[in-house]
Structure 1
C-alpha cells in the first residue's frame, strides 16, 4: 500500500463516519513515519494495521472499549526481533495522539505492527 491508496481508503471511511477525520490524519502521519523509517513509498501488507489504527483512535474518541488480545500472542510479540522498532512506532502514535492509549489498543497495535515488520522483513522488501 502507498500513501495515495491509504488516503483513498481513509477518506471513504471518514466520509461514511466509520472513522473520525482526526484519526485519518493521525493514521496518515503514522504511515508516513513508517515510510521514512523504511526509506520506501510502498508498505506491503499494511492495510490491516492502518485500518485498525484509524478505527482504534475513533473508538477511543467515542469512548468505546475493546477486549484484550490473548496473552500468549503478546508474549510472542515481545520475542520478535522487531520488538524495539515496533515499540518506537507505537510510541510515535501516542505522541501524535497526545496522551496514553488504552493498553488493549496498544497491544493490538503491537500485534499489527509486528506482523507488518515480519511480513516485510523489517522494511527490507519492496
Structure 2
C-alpha cells in the first residue's frame, strides 16, 4: 500500500466529491472518506460499482478542489467490499458532507449498505493547493 502525501490527505479529508472508476467504463460521483492511508466509500450491494469491484478489484478515484479545480489527486488501487461498519461510516460521511447525521429513508435498502475500502497503489497529485 502506498502512503498518501499530505496534499492528498487534505483533499480526501475535505467534503469534496470523488469520482470512482470501476470496470471498463463505469464512473460514479460519490462521497469519500479516509482511514489512515486507506480510502472508503459507502454504497449498496446491488449497485454496479460493487458488482464491478467483486469481479475486478482495480479502481481509480479522482478528487479535486472545487475552489481550485486544477489541483486534484488521482489514486489507483485495489478495492474490497465489506459489510461491517457500513452504517457507521455512512453516518460519518453524511456528517462530513452535510453537517447532519445520515437519514434512513428506506430501511430495507439500508440493510444492503456496503463499504468499498480502497488500498492506494499509486497516488498522483496535480497542481498546487494554493
TM-score, normalized by length of structure 2? 0.29
Of Structure 1 and Structure 2, which has the larger fraction of its residues in strand? Answer: 2
TM-score, normalized by length of structure 1? 0.29
